[in-house]
Structure 1
Amino acid sequence: MQELLNKKILIVDDEAALLKMIEDVLFSEGFYSLYTAQDCKKALEIVQSQPIALFLLDINLPDGNGFMLYRELRHYSQAPVMFLTARGEADDRIRGLDLGADDYIVKPFLPRELVLRIKALLRRTYGTEAKETGFSIGTRKIDFEKAAVITPEKETPLTAKELILIKKLWENRNRIVTNDALCMAAWGEDYYGHENNLMVHIRHLRQKLEANPSKPQYLITVKGLG
């Protein structure tokens, strides 16, 4: 766990008091490598100079929004992203997850819940349970260490959630993996109700892995099973 506590976390929120509270809570839990920003400009400056391992992003920011910032951050990092916002409407949650975000917590929240979610996300992303470095299907190589799908023509990054899901599927290759098992791998014990989010991530994986995503050869859905 100490290795995970050493990971660098960037918190982006325009509310100074909330930013300080989150920083204090995480520091008290042993997270000492913390960076904060109140706008997109500062966040982008930090990510270009520090190997951030986890992003906490507010949606409402003075010089843009969290969705826009997410897209910009992806030019520099594939680290997991948790949206931290007062905007809890379903459309906002789906939009964030559709972009590839890994979690979404709505204000007001219990500090303990935030800490547990962060620890779980770091374990799932950076844990040592996956020993293999990757595998190949057809002309595509899935590289776990680079978190990318590599072909002779290009390298396509995988989000943290996509990486977790493809590892789980590879570990259980040639077997049916239930939706519950995939949700548990990606969201931990708080997996209930994430099946629609799972389908979004699977769709994105097909677009990256399959020659014809509408007629998949590898990521095949077995109706009613997984």
Structure 2
Amino acid sequence: MSAEEKSRYFQELTLNLQHEGFIVKPETAEGLLPVELDDQRLCLALDTGAVRYWREDAADDRRKAALDKVVSITKTTAEYMHQIEAAPRLMVGSLTGDYRLLADFNGVVLAGHPTKYGIQFITWERMPERSSLNAGNYYGPSGGVDSYTAAKRNFAARSGLILRSDLFSPEQLVEVYRCVHEILDSSYPITEGRRKCLESTIEQIARSVPDLNERVEISNGEELEYVDALLTENSGMQFTS
């Protein structure tokens, strides 16, 4: 990895870690990237996509979970940054700017677009003559590594690598997320095994839907409006504007 590639990787990794609430300090003289949690040292990120840490810095469950998240983020960031560096430019019609062709299958492309805010990922459909692109779906750059995961998922579905019927839509995942939360937040007795399964389910959904919070808010709002309308209708009350 060249010095320029390392610098771009550390810049992208810093953005992704900060997105998850970690504090990232400037690169050390040894070429490592310090990562902190609660103003305390957690680990050091290497330009290989690995991390170095001390056992005492991940002594309790919370810090161990945080370390696992950093490891996951560094591996995913290293994966797609390696592809970005090696990928050819996407040269199609009037498309301008730095777009890298990461995948191309069955008339659908997955592109990466470096920006000062991080990498943006886009899936496009090629027009029949392959001279232009259509119907772009954009992911990031402000969504952290979840943008990359969501873009890959969208590419797989749009290109036919995975049948759409085998995947839940974002709308379906939002409602599953809400239902699971209702169970976890209720006093309904469930086994520890089931609780862990449900908790991992909502974590997986959160990684799959980058704008999950906004979608949940909309879904909650629509349901509250529906309930208010029903109450008004059933009560027979009239309101003046």
TM-score normalised by structure 1 residue count: 0.34
Q: Which has the higher contact order (CA 8 A, sep 6+)?
A: 1
Which TM-score applies when normalising by structure 2? 0.32
Query: Which protein is richer in helix relative to its size?
Result: 2
